[in-house]
């Protein structure tokens, strides 16, 4: 499609090829884009509109919330609850689901991390919004949490919005990955890249090295080989990156390749958790995007998209990016 096509026109054009399409899905993605534009505007203004700093509250996982965590969650709800496109919404910032009223209940379910990487917001480093879309069960009269608990292979779309030097929407509906850049002069996301692909090989990895002493042997082996450079078993030098924002990490991988790792380790297990990142709000949508771009995404032992969810805020280890590197780390776990 022509570079510069608006996100709305892009979705409408693609929906025309689907028999029985009603326009509801187009409307839903438009709602999400409106919410992301509002969040982008607040991120841009920052201290000018008093949205930085702590909210003096905790989310359902017991993590300290930033003001923009709370505000972004409210923006997502406001954008989605009035137009009849979704049956219910689930957010990393809420304990349970947010069902729509019966007269405004739509055909889809949406999960989101309204502001990923919010620890970066006060130091003006890139943050983002992640979302995942499922089809609501046809026979569901009252949406429940169980309706959301389906493997990532059942996602009908996934995406994220990166709030960086420019605001960018990255989207897949199961037919490849496209990127859109927000033109603030006209208030529209415009297509800037189609058919995004991740190179199978890379010389770049992202991991929080401060937890090295807690890593399991397979992760330690892989990172040690990378750090050994051209004198080690890999025979080449690697660069390390770490932004502490999954959106920024994945966007870099989509742009120039790489591997991102947030494994489970002894420290996380000691807290009674199976991983750090959330399956439904972070791992599943990002895994779908990465796989659609030709990459791979596993926990180290299992393809992420095939995990059968057990609860809404389930956590999992995440290893994703350039296919050959992900497969190498996974084979070390084997």
C-alpha–C-alpha distance, residues 277 and 261, integer Å? 11
Contact 318, 262 (CB under 8 A): yes
Binding residue ranges for Mg(2+): 92, 113, 115-116, 282
Q: CB of 136 within 8 A of CB of 106?
A: yes
Q: The tokens of 87 are what?
A: 């049956």
The helix/strand/coil state of 147 is helix
Give the dihedral sign, CA 165/240/281/14.
Answer: positive
* Residue 317, C-beta contacts closer than 8 angstroms, at least 6 positions apart: 262, 263, 264, 274, 275, 276, 277, 299, 300
SS3 content of the chain, % helix, strand, coil (to 5): 40, 25, 35
Q: What would the two tokens of residue 109 be? A: 């379910």
Binding residue numbers for substrate? 116-119, 208, 276
Scanning the chain, the segments in alpha helix (DSSP H) are: 7-15, 24-45, 67-80, 217-227, 246-256, 266-270, 284-292, 323-333
Helix (H, G, I), strand (E, B) or coil at 331: helix
Q: Which residue from 114, 182, 168 is spatially nearest to 289, judged by alpha carbons?
A: 168
- Binding residues are 92, 113, 115-119, 208, 276, 282
């Amino acid at each position: 499609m022509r570079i510069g096509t608006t996100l709305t026109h892009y979705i409408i054009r693609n929906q025309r090829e689907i028999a029985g399409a009603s326009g509801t899905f187009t409307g839903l993605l438009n709602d999400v884009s409106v919410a992301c534009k509002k969040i982008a505007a607040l991120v841009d203004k920052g201290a000018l509109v008093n949205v930085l700093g702590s909210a003096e509250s905790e989310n359902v996982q017991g993590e300290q919330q930033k003001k923009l965590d709370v505000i972004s969650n409210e923006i997502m709800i406001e954008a989605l609850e009035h137009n009849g496109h979704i049956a219910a919404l689930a957010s990393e910032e809420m304990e349970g689901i947010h069902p729509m009223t019966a007269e405004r209940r739509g055909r889809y379910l949406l999960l989101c991390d309204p502001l990923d990487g919010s620890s970066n917001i006060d130091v003006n480093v890139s943050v983002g919004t992640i979302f995942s879309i499922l089809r609501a069960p046809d026979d569901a009269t009252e949406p429940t949490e169980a309706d959301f608990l389906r493997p990532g292979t059942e996602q009908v779309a996934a995406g994220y919005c990166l709030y960086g030097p420019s605001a960018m929407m990255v989207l897949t509906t199961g037919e490849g990955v496209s990127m859109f850049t927000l033109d603030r002069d006209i208030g529209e996301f415009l297509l800037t890249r189609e058919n995004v692909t991740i190179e199978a090989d890379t010389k770049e990895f992202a991991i929080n090295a401060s937890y090295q002493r807690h890593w399991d042997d397979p992760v330690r082996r892989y990172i040690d080989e990378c750090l050994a450079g051209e004198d080690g078993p890999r025979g080449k030098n690697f660069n390390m990156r770490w932004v502490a924002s999954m959106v920024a990490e994945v966007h870099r991988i989509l742009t120039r390749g790489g591997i991102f790792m947030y494994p489970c380790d002894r420290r996380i297990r000691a807290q009674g958790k199976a991983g750090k990142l959330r399956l439904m709000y972070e791992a599943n949508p990002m895994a779908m995007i990465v796989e659609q771009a030709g990459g791979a995404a596993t926990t180290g032992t299992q393809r992420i998209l095939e995990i059968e969810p057990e609860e809404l805020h389930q956590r999992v280890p995440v290893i994703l990016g350039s296919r050959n590197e992900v497969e190498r780390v996974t084979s070390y776990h084997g």
